[in-house]
Amino acid sequence: MSDVALRLTGIRKEFPGVLANDDVGLEVRSSEVHALLGENGAGKSTLMKVLYGYYQPEAGTIELSGKTVEIRSPAAARRLGIGMVFQSFMLVPALTVCENVALELDHLGAVPSWQGIARQIREVSDRYGFGVDPDAPVWTLSVGEQQRVEIVRLLVAGAKMLIFDEPTSVLAPTDVEALFEVFAQLKADGYTIVFITHKLREVMACADRVTVLRRGRSVATVDRAETTEAQLVELIVGSARVEQAGTRGAARRDGAPVLELAGVWAEDDRGGAGLRGVDLALYGGEIVGLAGVSANGQVELGDVVLGVRPAGQGRVWLGGEDATTWPTARRLAAGVAMLPEDPMLMGAVGAMTVEENLALGDIDARSRPGFLPLDWRAARAKAASLTERFGLRMPRLDVPIRTLSGGNLQRLVFARELARSPRLMLAYHPTRGLDIAAVSVVYDALRALRDAGAAILVVSEDMDELATLCDRLLVIYHGQIVGEMAADAVDLHEVGRLMTGGVAA
């Protein structure tokens, strides 16, 4: 068990303005599940991309089974038996599973042996209980299935060491457990697994050893069996900055609901029914959780409230006024704010600077004539105060935001939306990808917003989060609200049943 499969020494990787990896070391034994743990921007993804040949380090060495290697490209990494599953999968949706797997293979030949590839896929799929159909087009598969396809393609291509970049961030809770079982079986079959995470529970659930990164440096490597969650937290944050149990808001249902939906139907992106008659009311001064497995109408619900997706039937009221036909700008002016599901794709402009992105959706600016100059000095001051308030570690505000880590971007968009003092906040996965310290900042901000009288809808798949944060819980399934309960009466078992289509008792 103790032979070293991989040793990284003194890895250094610098991006303009950011030292992502600074003298990082990592030692992975063969046939172990090794977790790479750390806050956002700690350098986990960068380190793995260096290993995968995606980045070239400025300094440091990589040893595989005791031999120093140079990994110049992902293709070179694959030839060395290293495979990586990225956070956003690298599959071609229009192609079948079989064709996607073929893309990973080195020696495909002019006329690929599709039957041979399909047979290999079935072998691997059967061995690990994936149930992958080689002929299924990838776009028809769920996220969990796509992840299994990613694993299959690495195994078929002959990878011995599998790297996963936050593999659980896209999965429903049941899929997460299944993935950990796959890890265990892969380990038993002699594969080595390195996975990036910032969730302690996952580390305790499936890792053999853990390496903690902090601010671009490796802090420690510990055996899972000899550590505790508390010790890991200390290693991650470096000091005691841990989320306190939250206070609950006494829901003051004063006056008209801030948001009310009555019998709302809406199409999903494929023209099917995304929402099927949703009724709900949110009042000022409460945080309402929306629990559900992803793709059960959460996205469509937010779109309809924001006015970027038409309600086929039903009405939407904002602050007591019928807003069903209002354009988005008017809804924003009425105090709607949204932290979208994917902040990079839906809420920010990657090529623009931090300041420019913070100016987006600035209602005050929009009320002035458009030919007037924007007040960039005021925007900069606002950007500085926002980044300060949310403890965003940003070396410079004049860099394109696509250079930021996912967690920083998430917090940036969140900060921007909060700065508008909204009356209604739709927060999608507000802490996804955030580290422990950042999570508590977000929770505090949401609670402060609630105490200021705003209505907040938190969409999340993380039941712990919903139970900690929310005053009231709604469950969405198949485009309908199928359950409602007060926060102190939440029965997680019951919620789980409702989320997966069980009928309310």
Site residues for other proteins per CB under 8 A: 15-16, 18, 20, 45-46, 49, 306, 308, 327-333, 338, 340, 345-353, 355-356, 359-361, 365-366, 368, 370-374, 376, 398-400, 402-403, 405
Distance CA 400, CA 357 (A): 9
Distance CA 92, CA 98 (A): 11
Residue the block writes with tokens 């003051």: 252
Closest approach of other proteins to the CB of residue 383, in Å: 12
Please name the residues in contact with 484: beta carbons below 8 A apart, sequence gap of 6 or more: 472, 473, 474, 475
The DSSP letter of residue 437 is H
Q: 109 or 370: whose CB is closer to other proteins?
A: 370
Closest approach of other proteins to the CB of residue 441, in Å: 21
Q: 32 or 165: whose CB is closer to other proteins?
A: 165
Closest approach of other proteins to the CB of residue 374, in Å: 5
Closest approach of other proteins to the CB of residue 305, in Å: 11
Q: 120 or 218: whose CB is closer to other proteins?
A: 218
Residue the block writes with tokens 């000899």: 226
Closest approach of other proteins to the CB of residue 434, in Å: 16
Closest approach of other proteins to the CB of residue 354, in Å: 11
Please name the residues in contact with 470: beta carbons below 8 A apart, sequence gap of 6 or more: 287, 288, 289, 458, 487
Closest approach of other proteins to the CB of residue 304, in Å: 13
Q: Tell me if 455 sits within 8 A of 259, measured CB to CB.
A: yes
Closest approach of other proteins to the CB of residue 372, in Å: 6
Distance CA 236, CA 198 (A): 9
The DSSP letter of residue 400 is B
Closest approach of other proteins to the CB of residue 303, in Å: 9
Q: H helices of 72-142, where?
A: 74-79, 97-104, 114-127
Q: 55 or 183: whose CB is closer to other proteins?
A: 55
Q: 248 or 380: whose CB is closer to other proteins?
A: 380
Residue the block writes with tokens 């079982």: 181
Closest approach of other proteins to the CB of residue 41, in Å: 8
Q: 46 or 410: whose CB is closer to other proteins?
A: 46
Closest approach of other proteins to the CB of residue 399, in Å: 8
- Residue 249 CB neighbours (<10 A): 17
Q: 360 or 448: whose CB is closer to other proteins?
A: 360
Extract the runs of DSSP E, i.e. beta strands, from 403-470.
Answer: 424-428, 455-460
Distances (CA, A) of 500 to 173, 301, 383: 11, 18, 42
- Residue 268 CB neighbours (<10 A): 16
Task: Name the nearest CA neighbour of 208 among 29, 26, 65, 435.
Answer: 29
Distances (CA, A) of 324 to 251, 335, 423, 489: 26, 15, 17, 33
Q: 304 or 481: whose CB is closer to other proteins?
A: 304
- Residue 103 CB neighbours (<10 A): 13
Distance CA 82, CA 80 (A): 6
Q: 206 or 394: whose CB is closer to other proteins?
A: 394
Please name the residues in contact with 135: beta carbons below 8 A apart, sequence gap of 6 or more: 96, 97, 98, 118
Closest approach of other proteins to the CB of residue 24, in Å: 14
Q: 50 or 466: whose CB is closer to other proteins?
A: 50
Burial 62-101 (b: 16+ CB within 10 A, else e): bebeeeebebeebeebbebbbbbbbeebebeeeebbbbbb
Residue the block writes with tokens 């393609």: 153
Q: 53 or 134: whose CB is closer to other proteins?
A: 53
Q: 120 or 197: whose CB is closer to other proteins?
A: 197
